[in-house]
C-alpha cells in the first residue's frame, strides 16, 4: 500500500483497497484531471500517483464507495 504524502499544503488522497470495487468505469479516475489515479493491473485497486496529484480532492467526492480518502 502506498503511503500518504503530507506537506504544509498538500495531503495526497489514497485508495482504501478494502472499499475499492475496482469499477470498469472508475468515477474517481474519470474525475481526476491530472490523471493521478493509476491502475496498473486489471482487477487490482488503483493508486494515487503523488507526483501527478495537485490535491484538488475531486476524486474523494467522485467515488461513490468512499474508497478514496484524503
**Averaged pLDDT score across all residues of the chain:** 89
Q: Three-state DSSP class for 70?
A: coil
d(CA 17, CA 46): 8
The domain in which residue 21 lies consists of: 1-70
**The pLDDT of residue 42:** 86
**Best CA proximity match to 10, nearest among 59, 55, 47:** 55
Number of domains in the chain: 1
**The pLDDT of residue 8:** 47
pLDDT at 23 over 50: yes
Domain CATH code at residue 36: 3.30.70.20
Q: For the chain, first and last CA: distance in Å?
A: 15
Task: Give residue-wise pLDDT tens across range 25-59.
Answer: 999 999 999 999 999 998 999 999 999 999 999 99
**Best CA proximity match to 33, nearest among 14, 17, 4, 53:** 53
Amino acid at each position: 500500500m502506498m503511503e500518504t504524502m503530507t506537506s504544509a499544503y498538500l495531503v495526497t488522497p489514497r485508495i482504501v483497497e478494502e472499499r475499492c470495487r475496482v469499477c470498469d468505469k472508475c468515477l474517481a479516475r474519470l474525475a481526476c484531471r491530472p490523471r493521478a489515479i493509476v491502475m496498473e493491473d486489471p482487477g487490482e485497486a488503483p493508486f494515487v500517483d503523488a507526483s501527478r496529484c495537485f490535491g484538488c480532492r475531486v476524486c474523494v467526492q467522485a467515488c461513490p464507495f468512499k474508497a478514496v480518502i484524503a
